[in-house]
Amino acid sequence: MLPVKYLPFLALLAALPLRAQMLWPGTAAGMTLDQVQHECPEAHAPGDSAVELPNGRGVELLRIDETVIAGHPFHVQFFFKGQQLVAVVLTETGEIPNKDLDKFRDLLRGKYGLEYSTRSSEYIQVTWKAVQTVIQLTWAPQGRDIATLSISYEAPIITETNRL
């Protein structure tokens, strides 16, 4: 049994994930547009090409045209629902060799541990769960030895009623 002096510390640790689910580095679920813009000053409004997530889960309000991850260029989309950040999606802007899927899977395993699930058919989708954040690596073949790759981070907005 833990000494009573550790109880406040444990209560703080238990509450931390409820406050803000981490998404892409520097961002957390529930951040406002201004907060994301402050963390990612290169982000800008997507203009007429804004995208909406399926089932009304969020609308793209900010975008970064290019960021390089593991030697590959990605564009980054920030999705908001009710003026709060709910998802970040990174999409490789060019074609990615099939062999690089393992490189990205290993990078995500290094950060989030073993995947929660892997689904494979015409494409491969690998899923991790970090508290309430769902991270998905999606690889879709486009032809012989080439594919597209995306990484998404999505978390629900924690409301007071969810804490009960």
Query: 3-state class of 105 per DSSP?
Result: helix
- Structural domain of residue 118, as residue ranges? 4-163
Question: Alpha-carbon distance 98 to 101, whole Å?
Answer: 6
What is the total count of domains within the chain?
Answer: 1
Per-residue pLDDT, 159 = 58
Per-residue pLDDT, 20 = 52
Closest CA to 133 of 14, 18, 13, 2: 18
Residue 151: which CATH number?
Answer: 3.40.1000
Q: pLDDT tens per residue, the chain (164 residues)?
A: 434 443 333 333 333 333 456 788 889 999 999 999 999 999 999 988 889 998 889 999 999 999 998 888 999 999 999 899 999 999 987 778 777 888 888 989 888 888 888 887 778 899 999 888 899 999 888 777 678 899 999 987 765 445 55
Query: DSSP letter string over 8-55?
Result: HHHHHHHHHHHH--B-STT-BTT--HHHHHHH-TT-B--GGG--B-GG
End-to-end CA gap in the chain: 25
- When computed from its CA atoms, the radius of gyration of the chain, rounded to whole angstroms, is 18
Q: Are 107 and 126 spatial neighbours (Cβ–Cβ below 8 Å)? A: no
Per-residue pLDDT, 41 = 94
